Amino acid sequence: MSKTILITGASRGIGKEISERLSEKGYNILANYNKTEIKSKENIEVYKADVSKREEVKEMVKYCLEEFGQIDILINNAGISEIKMFQDITEGDWDKMMNVNLKGTFNVTQEVLPNMIKNKNGCIINISSIWGITGASCETHYSVSKAGIIGLTKALAKELGPSGIRVNAIAPGAVTTDMNKNVTAEEWKIIKEETPLQKIGRPVDVVRCIEWLIEDEFTTGQVISPNGGLVI
């Protein structure tokens, strides 16, 4: 029986690349989206849900289990970003960032876990960011949310290891995605010059890390950062 992967935030960028590439490898995919609609295709079922809303997440997980019987792999990819000076961040800005990026990861993981614990097997991959490791000027609330995901990953890896569940995080560096569409050509040039490998990351670079983490059976609690050497 093919393994089933639930991917959140799969309508574009890294999430879209993950769902399409892994579906080609024969996995059953439930691709979650919220605002940008996507359509089902071979091996890919789609489901609309706001990960920050627990009831919607509960219904999504229920649907996935009804369709595929179990959830073997969870990839928490849904997220938002915003560039703002710290003094200009409103309480609403802060709450929205935490609700989608951090609480969303909490919601989906907690709903998926009973099935994984019952099966004594599972793989959870949380998408963080290089800024969750180093922090980013003018992206404090984003950095905090992604740092929180790293803390959640490490704590859960310890807690869930005895249940046969591996939990890891990927913290990509600068990657060309829709989330970074406001980065100017000049800014990309500067980032490229500051990166030892002298290149900008692509979604496929992140997907390759995910493929390895899915197949590896002795790695848990780790933060893998494909960033071209930007942070050494």
Q: What are phi and psi of 45, to 5 degrees?
A: -100, 150
Whole domain around residue 113: which residue ranges? 4-224
Q: What is the pLDDT of residue 1?
A: 61
Tell me if 230 is assigned to some domain.
no
pLDDT in tens, the chain (232 residues): 689 999 999 998 889 999 999 999 999 999 999 988 888 888 899 999 999 999 999 999 999 999 999 999 999 999 999 999 999 999 999 999 999 999 999 999 999 999 999 999 999 999 999 999 999 999 999 999 999 999 999 999 999 999 999 999 999 987 766 666 666 677 767 777 777 787 877 888 899 999 999 999 999 999 999 888 787 7
Provide the CATH number for the domain around residue 213. 3.40.50.720
Q: What is the pLDDT of residue 2?
A: 86
| C-alpha dist (Å) from residue 147 to 34, 40, 134, 150, 185 | 23, 33, 9, 5, 28
pTM, to two decimals: 0.93
Q: What is the pLDDT of residue 43?
A: 85
Distance CA 18, CA 137 (A): 29
| C-alpha dist (Å) from residue 167 to 79, 137, 145, 158, 179 | 18, 28, 18, 9, 25
Tell me if 145 is assigned to some domain.
yes
Tell me if 31 is assigned to some domain.
yes
* 142 given a catalytic annotation: yes
How many helical (H) and strand (E) elements, i.e. helices and strands, does the chain have?
8, 7
Distance CA 172, CA 79 (A): 13
Q: Find the catalytic residue in 27, 33, 47, 142.
A: 142
Number of compact structural domains in the chain:
1
CA 171 to the chain's CA centroid = 9
Q: What is the pLDDT of residue 9?
A: 95
* Helix residue ranges, H only, the chain: 13-24, 54-68, 91-97, 104-119, 130-134, 140-160, 185-194, 203-215
Distance CA 67, CA 209 (A): 27
Tell me if 229 is assigned to some domain.
no
Tell me if 95 is assigned to some domain.
yes
Tell me if 232 is assigned to some domain.
no
The Cβ-side half-sphere exposure at 52, using a 13 Å CA radius, reads 12
Point out which residues pair with 7 in neighbouring strands: 31, 75
Q: What is the pLDDT of residue 181?
A: 63
Give the pair of three-digit tokens for residue 159. 């807690």
Tell me if 143 is assigned to some domain.
yes
Question: Residue 161 is which amino acid?
Answer: G
Q: What is the pLDDT of residue 50?
A: 97
Point out which residues pair with 4 in neighbouring strands: 28
Give residue for tokens 């099966």: 119
CB 131 within 8 A of CB 143: yes
Q: What is the pLDDT of residue 27?
A: 94
